[in-house]
A and B are shown apart, each in its own frame.
Chain A
Amino acid sequence: MTTTLEGSSTMETGGTVPTEADFPQTAIQCRIQELFYGDFLAVRNSEVNIRKQQITAFIGPSGCGKSTVLRCINRMNDLIRTFRFKGELLFQGINIYDSSIDPVAVRRHIGMVFQQPNPFSMSIYDNVAFGLRLNRFKGKLAEKVEHSLQRAGLWNEVKDKLKNNGLSLSGGQQQRLCIARAIATEPSVLLMDEPCSALDPIATRIIEELMLELKEKYTIAIVTHNMQQATRVADETAFFSVDIYKGGRTGYLVEFGPTDQVFSDPQEDLTKQYISGEFS
């Protein structure tokens, strides 16, 4: 089932080409054995399955590795020189940590929104068009840009000032711009690393509603330190933690399941304690 293909424009006949039908529900399977930063073991033995067109939330106390795991999905951790990944990460059945895979290609298919809004220092239009131009999109750019901004819920606020620099917007607007930029190329998966933590409650609310709309089309994985946010938006929740009572610093997946169930009837003691606020 794991196949890789040569060439950029034609497909070889011979190997099987994974198509949507092969992956009815799961978009991403993270099977992590160990994640290292240098000598420091950041995450151990965790397996998370992210389903299609759903929102999966990673929650847990700070330092438990939830951002690290999220960043593994689009190989962003590769940018850190001392990082090492042991395990498998299957994206549409293909292990993207295989040595033959180009991480840049992976990132073209997965969008990411970061904790701090980070539009490029160019016009709003150019920000959204950036990914399209990068992928040498040949169609009608302006339409795509407008479409993206509309889906991000930003169009009405910026339609008259598309030439303005992206950094001139407010924090909440910048984050929506980053979302528009990420979805412009229609990636199937969207990763969001604490997207609302730098925003005020009103902007947060707008983005949460946006997420619920976006999940019709995109698979979303979101890291959040706000439990209530997880209950509001996530279909499934993964709870990561460190061995807090044993003084451990290595994170691992404690519990994973439908959000309702994780919050109302947690299976693990640690989960119960976290949810009831005994540690955070």
Chain B
Amino acid sequence: MNQSSAARVEREEVTLTELQKNVWEPRSLFNGFLNILTWIMALLACLPLFSVLVMLIIRGSRRLSWSIFTELPPTAFEMGGGFGNAIVGTLVMVGVGMFLSVPFGILAAVFLAELGPDSKIAATARFCAKTLTGLPSILAGVFAYAAVVLLTGTYSAPAGGIALSLLMVPTVILTAEEAMKMVPRIMKDAAHGIGCTHTQVITKVIIPTAMPGIITGVILAVARAAGETAPLLFTALFSEYWLFQGGHVGVMQPTASLAVLIYNFSGMPYENQIELAWTASLFLVFMVLVLNLVSRAIGQRDTGVVTMVMVIRKMITSKKDQGESK
């Protein structure tokens, strides 16, 4: 019971007009304006992707034919030509990169995820891997130049492959570690309980179960490596010939690659070369998209688009599961 009327507060009545929506009110205007601005910016952000894809298709499909696989790159005033050797070169060097980075990366990831997740060496290694993801691709090339080209005295496909593997390793490690951590603890318990040595738990249960995630990571690394130019510029250089010229396979020589071809041709004043650059770009982007689809088919859940963004996400979220010790 309110006794003191002196303390009673004057209440204003709420009128209908106060409650109704009013677009012209300053707060609503501001809100609406920013909404519109956001929509515009969001759509603008999508625009480059569509522009790139559309241009690739329009300009790249002009020269799309089997000759791109079978013919060699044209020299200055030549017409026609293809880039079969560049495709082969890219495949070979990415293959070398995979051969070096995948086993090494998976083994390290095993230690990080399972054998010593909380140890100091694991924390240091994770830090190093994350730091290496930020390594500029040109410096991977500089490193391979210093470590391999100067040593062997020649530009070569393996030098290019080593440069690529440097870029692939952090990706493989971080994604493989994530994939292995996702294997449920109870499944690992079951493997231990049935009498597996720790290695058997890893090889018979953890790795097979984590395989889709590991493969996704490998595909990501491959997709990125296939498109890299800078690491190859002065390790594998370029070549206008097939890798297996003259009846024998010679890898210790300058090797062509798709990315370097695009780079070289884009700077030339010849329409022929420029057209081929577009076609090669179309082919490259197409390969990347196909790899994405393959990894989705293999993957168990929707990891989104397989790009470096995924790795960066993992770098962040991997901090969150720092509460499990038992």
Q: Which residues of A contact B (CB under 8 A)?
A: 74, 76, 79-81, 104-105, 107-109, 111-112, 114, 116, 118-122, 130-131, 134-135, 178, 181-182
Contacts and interface: CB of A to CB of B under 8 A. Distances in A.
Given A80-B326, A122-B208, A104 B196 contact: yes
A131 to B, nearest CB: 5
Contacts of B208: 121-122
B310 interface: no
Interface stretch (B136-144, B187-195, B218-226): B187-195
A131 B190 CA distance: 11
A108 B191 contact: no
B197 interface: yes
For the complex, would chain B's binding face be called helix, strand, loop or mixed by DSSP majority?
A: helix
Interface string B32-49: 000000000000000000
Q: Looking at B189, B190, B191, B326, which has the most chain A CB atoms within 10 Å of its CB?
A: B190
Given A80-B326, A120-B209, A121-B208, A134 B194 contact: yes
Nearest to A167: B187
A104 B205 contact: no
Contact of B195 (A108, A118, A178): A108
6 contacts: A76-B189, A104-B195, A105-B195, A119-B190, A130-B204, A178-B190
* Interface size grouping (class) on chain B: 10 to 19
Q: Looking at A120, A122, A131, which has the most chain B CB atoms within 10 Å of its CB?
A: A120
B184 interface: yes
Which 10 residue pairs of A and B lie closest in terms of their CB atoms, listed nearest first? A108-B195, A112-B193, A118-B186, A107-B195, A118-B190, A121-B209, A116-B186, A131-B194, A104-B197, A118-B187
Contacts, number: 59
B192 A76 contact: yes
Contacts of A122: 208
A120 B190 contact: yes
A114 B184 CA distance: 13
B200 interface: yes
Contacts of B193: 74, 76, 107, 111-112, 114, 182
Contacts of B189: 76, 79, 114, 118
Given A76-B189, A80-B326, A114-B189, A182 B194 contact: yes
Interface string B170-210: 00000000000000101101111111110010001100110
Contacts of B187: 118, 120-121
B194 A130 contact: yes
A80 B197 CA distance: 15
A134 B200 contact: yes
Contacts of A120: 187, 190-191, 205, 209
Given A119-B190, A131-B195, 6 more contacts: A79-B192, A104-B197, A120-B191, A130-B204, A178-B190, A181-B190
Interface of B: 184, 186-187, 189-197, 200, 204-205, 208-209, 325-326
Contacts of A130: 194, 204
A22 B208 CA distance: 43
Nearest to A191: B193
A130 B201 CA distance: 11
A107 B186 contact: no
Nearest to B196: A134
B204 to A, nearest CB: 8
Contacts of A182: 193-194
Contacts of B196: 104, 134
Contacts of B184: 118
A131 B191 CA distance: 9
B183 to A, nearest CB: 8
B113 to A, nearest CB: 15
Contacts of B190: 112, 114, 118-120, 178, 181
Q: Looking at B184, B189, B194, which has the most chain A CB atoms within 10 Å of its CB?
A: B194
A107 B209 contact: no
A104 B195 CA distance: 5
A181 B194 contact: yes
Contacts of A108: 194-195
Nearest to A116: B186
A135 B204 CA distance: 13
A112 B190 CA distance: 8
Contacts of B209: 120-121
A74 B197 CA distance: 14
A120 B192 CA distance: 12
Nearest to A102: B197
A117 B290 CA distance: 38
A134 B195 contact: yes
A121 B204 CA distance: 10
Contacts of A81: 325
B186 A114 contact: yes
Nearest to A178: B190
A184 B204 CA distance: 18
B11 to A, nearest CB: 54
A65 B239 CA distance: 71
B194 A107 contact: yes
A61 B224 CA distance: 55
B90 to A, nearest CB: 35
Contacts of A80: 326
B275 to A, nearest CB: 49
Q: Looking at A81, A109, A121, A181, which has the most chain B CB atoms within 10 Å of its CB?
A: A121
A121 B197 CA distance: 19
A178 B187 CA distance: 11
A144 to B, nearest CB: 15
Given A116-B186, A121-B187, A121-B208, A107 B192 contact: yes
